[in-house]
Chain A
Amino acid sequence: MATARNLNPSGLNKDDPLLEMSDVCVTYPGAASPALDNLSLAVRPGEFLTILGQSGSGKTTALRAIAGFERIESGHLSIGGQIIADARTHVKPESRRVGMVFQDYALFPHLSVMDNVAFGVPDAASSGKASITQALEMVGLGGYESRFPHELSGGQQQRVALARSLAPDPVILLLDEPFSNLDRQLRGTLRRDVREIVESHGTTAILVTHDREEALGMADRVAIMQSGRVLQVGKPNDLYSGANSSEVAQLIAPSNTVRGRIAGPYVDTEAGRFRYRSPNGPLGNGVFVDAVLRAHDLELGPWEGGGAIRTVRYREYQGEFTEYGIELPSLRQIYVRRRSIAPLEIGTRVMITAPFDRPVLVFPEQP
């Protein structure tokens, strides 16, 4: 059987994918729909890719399939051009040279930090303590060798898990929601540290998360996942401006999707009339569309009387901005984020507008 151990990723062309998943399907026993539904994704050598998706989108399953914890039913998965899994092949997890950092770290509770990190190093005994100590120093935990996992804080456990997975020199490092169990302040620091450590180690990495900031902030490229498939892959900036579907636009920025109809240079919705931009090409008059209204890109002005009534229903002060819930004529609420000056009272009737330089995104309505 092929093992990933004899791969030579450096021999690859710069643009050849290091990891390639093509039309991969995984269905859990008893599940109604597949967890991975013809998923295709290519990861380039040395890049830091994040997968952004909501709970149940299949992003963790994708990592588990790469690591070899799930068998794939169809499609194929290759590392460095060698098939490691398809409908018939299944290279064992221990032979793939893929490192995994689990969401809750999965540190071995009966082993010291030292032994945890040494666990995956085949010649830990001969190469001695030095390499392990070095790995720990890299994550800023020199001197913690003899501690046990339960004696460490969440952030420290996280670092040990990272050092442990990097110690055997994996071809690819997989990180499954690595910051979800940490408090907010710690996340920011650790995010930068992890990125830095992975980069200095020169490892290709895939990080899975449902946190938009994390996905956009850490990535060279972001893959957006929904219902077991990848909707769009791209650089964070490109995705933000060039979302090719309302789902992607909705995931990439806090926003509301409302139904609308094209009327010349405008789109008419129950939230108001807005200038629009259509990433998927020009649209004719009268076409029904999904309009994505980004919460940060809307402005609230005084009601000028007549027509539809839109009312402030809730207000949440959140520091530099204040979030408002605006009730539309259909009684549906959309949310708008506005700088925290001149707050509006609950019950105020407002008009919603989009600034000239930030038109709303529209996508032809899906049947």
Chain B
Amino acid sequence: MQTGFQLGAIRPRGGFTLLHLVGIAIAALVLLPIIYLAIRTFSADASAADLIFRQRTAEILFRSILLVGLVTAGSISIAVPMAWLTLRTNLPLRNLWTVGAVLPLVIPSFIGAFVAVIALSPRGMLQDLLDVLFSVERIPDIFGLPGATLVLVLLTFPYVFIPVRASLRRMDPALEEMSRNLGHGGFATFRYVTFPLLKPAISAGAVLTALYTLSDFGAVSLLRYETFTWAIFVQYDTAFDRSIAAALSLVLVAVALGILAIDIASRGQGRYHRSTVGSVRPTRPIELGRWRWPALAFVSVVVALSLIAPLGVVTYWVVRGVARGEEVGLDWTAFANSLQAGGLAALFTTLAAIPVAILAVRHRDLLSLSIERASYLGFGLPGIVVALALVFFGINVFTPIYQTRSLLVVAYVILFLPAAISAIRASLMQVNPRIEEAARGLGKNSWHVGFRITLPLVMPGVLAGAATVFLLTMKELPATLILGPIGFQTLATDIWGFTEEAFFAKAAVPALVLILSSGIPTAFLLFRDAQLSSSNSPEDPAGTTS
């Protein structure tokens, strides 16, 4: 649980305010389209049950769950050793590997898939290379389950790495020392002490990975592995009757909610309290000894495949395209559209997030908390479902804005509201409500205090939230494909479209722009954090009470 001034420090403010009204409107915006989708499906001409319980649904369900299981297992088995190696051992260049293990987050799945296609497909770069070197004429097919699993594992393992590393860092090293002291070796200590204590973090990361995989459209569509998202898109795109797409969407939502339910249920069981009071003492790193080289090989292969390879391949294709005089210039219209969509999404999402965050942190009554919960819906909802719901809602209710950019922005707001809320919420919790009360005591009304005191103090959080939404929007694919007005193209849709049609050189330029635009600021922040955290070790590593 986050610490801050929220718990106990403030009593719920009574009464219904204008802010609650705004909050209800925002929650309604998030909830209505999905509710509408459900109602429409169940009131369609064909019976909903017939649409849902078909053989094909079962096949798609099986394939989706298989992929989710494989990707989650793969991510865990990469992320846990990585977190341990970069935090607890004397592995060389630990900061570099840490940043390298987080950065794959900035690579959208369609770019990962694009790289896999041009590098690993039959007649791809790897095969060309093997042909020249060893006359290998066939390599295993990348399309289907193996390719989708590979790409998604390499892109999602940071979702497990981040919480596991954080949890390992907070863990009191005395617990592991105690186990050694009681006669257990290194392996038994990991098995009986470290691993059980990491379980909550692992399962938190696993849920994120599972939801990401389930919602992913870019990788499965380009690598031709039919899961829910791709099946829904094909149904929507080709069939006149959209009720099958709607029915599949509802099943997908049910699976996503199922994953969240498992998470909540398992969280209830393993509520581990830190039984200690003191601060965590920095430990002496474990000597890897002869395991140093295998460990180094492991982390460098992971970082090479997940980060260096995508960057390298994309750069190679840009350079090759330029060298051959191909038409590789950036599609400036798409670039401008991406920036515009990102900017509008950031603006409106932030505006919607501020009242919800204030309600959740400062008011904390039942209504406020319900509004906050509802706003988090987009976190568990695949983009394609939100898009499809808005299509139905747009055609029938929001008719004036159907097929306009406004509806697209609504989709972004629903999808990325949780990201903005959590950023603002976190910084709001750092502001002591006593400061606001002091200002009220000096005779200022609550609006005045909000703008003059609270807003400046939470501005870093607001800006961080806006930046996150901007980057997420730039990378968003399925909603943009479905809701964008006819002829509307962004960098993301360009990359996807060009890859589908095998114009690889044309896809490479926007891919490079996308990776760098979110990768550079993220890398900068990560390196700064890594340096801060490694330089603040106290002078007396044995602790203050030696």
Contacts and interface: CB of A to CB of B under 8 A. Distances in A.
A108 B546 contact: no
Contact of A93 (B180, B274, B544): B180
Given A105-B275, A106-B172, A181-B278, A68 B180 contact: yes
Contacts of B193: 108
Interface in A276-302: none
A94 B546 contact: no
A100 B181 contact: yes
B284 A29 contact: yes
A98 B182 CA distance: 8
Contact of A104 (B180, B272, B278): B278
B274 A28 contact: no
Given A94-B180, A120-B182, A181-B277, A60 B542 contact: yes
A360 B546 CA distance: 31
Given A60-B546, A110-B270, 5 more contacts: A58-B542, A60-B545, A93-B181, A119-B192, A181-B278
Nearest to A95: B183
B174 A119 contact: no
A99 interface: yes
Name the residue in A108, A150, A164 with the highest tally of chain B Cβ atoms < 10 Å from its Cβ.
A108
Contacts, number: 115
B540 A99 contact: no
21 contacts: A29-B284, A58-B542, A69-B180, A70-B284, A92-B180, A92-B185, A93-B177, A94-B180, A94-B183, A97-B183, A100-B177, A102-B177, A102-B178, A104-B275, A104-B276, A105-B275, A106-B177, A108-B175, A109-B274, A120-B183, A164-B182
B528 interface: no
A164 B537 CA distance: 31
Contact of A102 (B174, B272, B540): B174
A150 B180 CA distance: 22
B241 to A, nearest CB: 53
A106 B178 CA distance: 7
Contacts of B540: 28, 31, 35, 56
Given A110-B197, A149-B275, A35 B178 contact: no
Interface in A37-76: 55-61, 64, 67-70
Contacts of B400: none
A107 B172 CA distance: 10
Contacts of A180: 545
B546 A100 contact: no
Given A58-B546, A59-B546, A109-B197, A168 B182 contact: yes
Contacts of B144: none
Interface string B385-419: 00000000000000000000000000000000000
**Top 10 nearest A-B pairs by Cβ distance?**
A120-B182, A150-B273, A106-B174, A104-B276, A93-B180, A60-B546, A149-B275, A106-B178, A28-B541, A100-B181
Chain A: interface secondary structure?
loop
Interface string B156-197: 000000000000000010110111111111000000110011
Contacts of B172: 104, 106
A254 B544 CA distance: 22
A104 B543 CA distance: 12
A181 B272 CA distance: 20
A210 B275 contact: no
Contacts of A61: 542, 546
Contact of A107 (B177, B196, B275): B275
B327 interface: no
B539 A210 contact: no
A142 to B, nearest CB: 21
A105 B145 CA distance: 49
Contacts of B543: 60
Given A104-B278, A149-B275, A64 B183 contact: no
Contacts of A55: 544-546
Interface of A: 28-32, 35, 55-61, 64, 67-70, 92-95, 97-100, 102-110, 119-120, 122, 149-150, 157, 164-165, 168, 177, 180-181, 210
A31 B546 contact: no
A58 B175 CA distance: 21
B256 to A, nearest CB: 29
A59 B305 CA distance: 48
B164 to A, nearest CB: 16
A67 B540 CA distance: 19
A85 to B, nearest CB: 14
Contacts of B183: 94-95, 97, 120, 122, 168
B272 A109 contact: yes
A31 B172 CA distance: 22
Contacts of B542: 28, 35, 58, 60-61, 64
Interface in B513-546: 537, 539-546
Contact of A98 (B178, B181, B196, B275): B181
Contact of B273 (A95, A122, A149): A149
Contacts of A106: 172, 174-175, 177-178, 275-276
A81 B197 CA distance: 38
B275 A150 contact: yes
Contacts of A165: 181-182
A203 to B, nearest CB: 14
Nearest to A60: B546
B426 to A, nearest CB: 25
B345 to A, nearest CB: 42
A95 B183 CA distance: 6
A180 B545 CA distance: 10
Contacts of B275: 104-107, 109, 149-150, 157
A35 B546 contact: yes
Given A107-B275, A150-B275, A94 B184 contact: yes
A141 to B, nearest CB: 15
Nearest to A119: B182
A106 B193 CA distance: 11
Contacts of A104: 172, 174, 275-278
Contacts of B544: 55-56
A90 B454 CA distance: 57
A150 B193 CA distance: 16
Nearest to A118: B182
Contacts of B184: 94, 119-120
Given A104-B174, A106-B172, A31 B541 contact: yes
Contacts of B182: 94, 119-120, 164-165, 168
A278 B543 CA distance: 37
Nearest to B539: A31
